Amino acid sequence: MNTNSKNWDFQSSPSADFYVNRETDTLVYAMGGLGEVGKNMYCVEHQDEIIIMDCGVRFPEDDLLGVDYVVPDYTYLSKNADKIKALIITHGHEDHIGGIPFFLKACPCKTIYAPRFAIALIEKKLDEHRMSRAVKLVEINGESRITTKFFHVGFFNTIHSIPDSLGLIVNTPNGTIVETGDFKFDLTPVGTNSDYQKMAYMGAIGTTLLMSDSTNSGVREFSPSEREVSASILDTMRHTSGRLIIATFASNVNRVAQIISNAIACGRKICVFGRSMINVIEIGRRLGTITAPDDAFVEPEMLANMPANKVCLICTGTQGEPLAALSRIANGTHRWIHIIPGDTVLFSSSVIPGNQAAIGAIINKLCRIGAIIVDNNIINTVHTTGHASSEEQKLMMQLTKPDYFMPMHGEYKMLKQHAISATETGIPDDHIFLMTNGDVLAMRNKEVFFTNLRIPTDAVYVDGNDTNGVAAAVLKDRKILADNGLVAVIVTIDSRYNKILCRPNIVSRGFVFIKKNQELLRDAEIVVYNALARRLQQKTTFGDLKTTIKTTLEPYFYQKTHRSPIIIPVILNMRAAMEQNAARQRAQISRR
């Protein structure tokens, strides 16, 4: 993209000292979803009312060791819980609903409004967290309306990779906000079509602020139709003589429905692997999104007695996840499936940036044991995105005709590319707002301004179900442990005489190989012993001794190995000394 012809100078953070009148202005801000893919949570606030749009999680990067989810800091919303009038969900993907259990624990909410498929997924999620009675779930669709004292919310159908995907129209006292949710335009869709008429109507009557999905802003062409993908998968299925294993995202419900329909059309029995895939198919069949008779499915133990050309396996693991079904199949550790030379593995997915190495390793293993690989390419269109390309994003702008624009849902590069597309459609530079999580826009009389307000939105790292989050210091320690290991120093003393009873004992884990570094550890023990002997000649405390051990060993180990392990001092006191200290403390207490 050539941007040299113009100096694209979009503000990335509030700079104007714009005075906010909380009695009359409408505030717009994101708790998550800006500068990142995931953790979507957008808020509109006016006086004593807050409407929240989506409540998602972000999955951790490799350097967040032991972290299961990343969620927004809900402190601000918790302090203003009495203002929250509605939590509205646009669709049922994890980056839009995954944070709901953690949000409800931090900030009780009376009602969640969500489309049909999303409600089924939320119910299952709340059951897993034993919170099924924590909130009332109200189903919404493209014709629904939500009305509060200051807000009137309407909806329009969009196309995404999951059924029942909605965009929002939020009428506020200071103008109209259109929030697209995740969307794409598909002229031959599977399922419900986009509400082009409503979008165009919003453009006719006037959209003050458009908040639009930026995920695929770097892709120029219109994305292929889901029906084109279905036809390509069906063609592959018909020309595959052996077993067919199809790996795809469980969240891509429309794709899964098409795969199942094609398998039935080809006379193949379906076997499903992966807990998330099983859950989605169960919900899809119950809601009628996936239509298939019970006898279309077979149990894993029946596969061994079935003809290879009569089997279609559907599984998770397209991103090389170590514990997913496809990884276990490739490693030969799956309980039911072992690759037979001539099996075809079809990847109906895209490569998420950062997962290339893991996916490449899986493909190489599958090829090595005789599998035929089919992936998305120019010849075989076996995957399409659920997010709008830049041309589709421009179409959304042309339909809704916003006066102001805020790109959302994407990394900074995606937001910037979306902002450039907005200028190409005629939106002035100073009407485009590149925001970060916590930045606040103010709407006043159908005008939108940056403000100097800031909402605290630090990320919270969830380990298991602990909603308190993992402290940054803990993550730092985990990183040090992963890189440099741990050294425990055990010292036995007699505090009555300030005397070390024996040479310290050093135990290493993940720092050095003990058998080959006995001399290093022996020398370290002597260094610690000498430092403690000098320290014990003075009046000292257990804290002083631990500090002495750390300050002595840290530079010593770095000088010898250029590594800085975590050092854990362990001070053992003689039983007699401990009893004497306890008696002294009891005497002091009795004198008081």
Q: How many domains does the chain contain in total? A: 3
- Say if residue 367 is in the same domain as residue 272: yes
Phi, psi dihedral angles at 119 (to 5 degrees)? -60, -45
Query: For residues 50 and 562, what is the distance between their CA atoms, to the nearest angstrom?
Result: 53
Residue 9 lies in a domain: no
- Say if residue 404 is in the same domain as residue 499: no
- Predicted pLDDT of residue 498: 83
Of 525, 249, 496, which Cα lies nearest the Cα of 383?
249
List of residues 6+ apart from 78 with CB closer than 8 A? 106, 107
Q: Which two tokens stand for residue 276?
A: 């998330």
Rounded alpha-carbon distances, angstroms, from residue 115 to 48, 100, 159, 258: 26, 15, 13, 21
Residue 176 lies in a domain: yes
The one catalytic residue in 73, 213, 375, 463 is 213
Q: Residues, the chain, total?
A: 592
Check which CATH number belongs to the domain holding 280 and give it.
Answer: 3.40.50.10710
Residue 313 lies in a domain: yes
Residue 188: how many CB atoms within 10 A of its CB?
Answer: 9
Q: How many helices (H) and strands (E) does the chain have?
A: 16, 25
- Predicted pLDDT of residue 496: 81
Q: Final residue of a domain: which of 309, 340, 374?
A: 374
Query: For residues 282 and 123, what is the distance between their CA atoms, to the nearest angstrom?
Result: 13
For 537, the domain range is 472-591
Q: Final residue of a domain: which of 351, 374, 397?
A: 374
Query: For residues 368 and 512, what is the distance between their CA atoms, to the nearest angstrom?
Result: 36
- Say if residue 301 is in the same domain as residue 438: no
Report helix, strand or coil for 113.
strand
Residue 2 lies in a domain: no
User: Pairing between strand 439-444 and 447-454?
Assistant: antiparallel
Residue 146 lies in a domain: yes
Query: For residues 118 and 122, what is the distance between their CA atoms, to the nearest angstrom?
Result: 6
- Say if residue 144 is in the same domain as residue 215: yes
- Say if residue 160 is in the same domain as residue 47: yes
Q: How many CA atoms lie within 13 A of 102 on its CB side?
A: 30
Residue 3 lies in a domain: no
Q: Which two tokens stand for residue 93?
A: 């993907």
Report helix, strand or coil for 34.
strand
Residue 8 lies in a domain: no
Range 371-379, long-range pairs (CB < 8 A, 24+ positions): 371/245, 371/339, 371/341, 371/343, 371/344, 371/345, 372/342, 372/343, 372/344, 372/345, 373/344, 373/345, 373/347, 374/236, 374/344, 374/345, 374/346, 374/347, 375/346, 375/347, 376/347, 376/348, 376/349, 376/350
- Say if residue 85 is in the same domain as residue 191: yes
Q: How many CA atoms lie within 13 A of 482 on its CB side?
A: 11
Query: For residues 376 and 223, what is the distance between their CA atoms, to the nearest angstrom?
Result: 13
Query: For residues 440 and 28, what is the distance between their CA atoms, to the nearest angstrom?
Result: 6
The one catalytic residue in 91, 387, 409, 418 is 387
The question of whether 463 is a catalytic residue gets the answer no
Check which CATH number belongs to the domain holding 50 and give it.
Answer: 3.60.15.10
Residue 377: how many CB atoms within 10 A of its CB?
Answer: 9
Residue 63 lies in a domain: yes
Check which CATH number belongs to the domain holding 486 and give it.
Answer: 3.10.20.580
Query: For residues 85 and 50, what is the distance between their CA atoms, to the nearest angstrom?
Result: 6
Q: Final residue of a domain: which of 342, 374, 406?
A: 374
> Which regions in the chain score pLDDT beneath 70?
1-18, 62-66, 353-354, 464-475, 576-582, 584-592
**pLDDT (tens digit per residue) in 298-337:** 999 898 889 989 999 999 988 888 878 899 999 988 988 8
Q: Are 326 and 315 in contact (CB under 8 A)?
A: yes
- Say if residue 127 is in the same domain as residue 256: no
In the chain, the amino acid numbered 489 is V
- Say if residue 190 is in the same domain as residue 238: no
Q: Which two tokens stand for residue 501?
A: 């009873």
The question of whether 387 is a catalytic residue gets the answer yes
- Say if residue 158 is in the same domain as residue 241: no
Report helix, strand or coil for 61.
coil
- Say if residue 346 is in the same domain as residue 441: no
Query: For residues 366 and 357, what is the distance between their CA atoms, to the nearest angstrom?
Result: 14
Compute CA 485 distance to the chain's CA centroid, rounded to the nearest angstrom.
28
- Predicted pLDDT of residue 377: 75
- Say if residue 197 is in the same domain as residue 69: yes
Give the alpha-carbon dihedral of 372, 374, 375, 380, to 10 degrees: 160
- Say if residue 85 is in the same domain as residue 122: yes
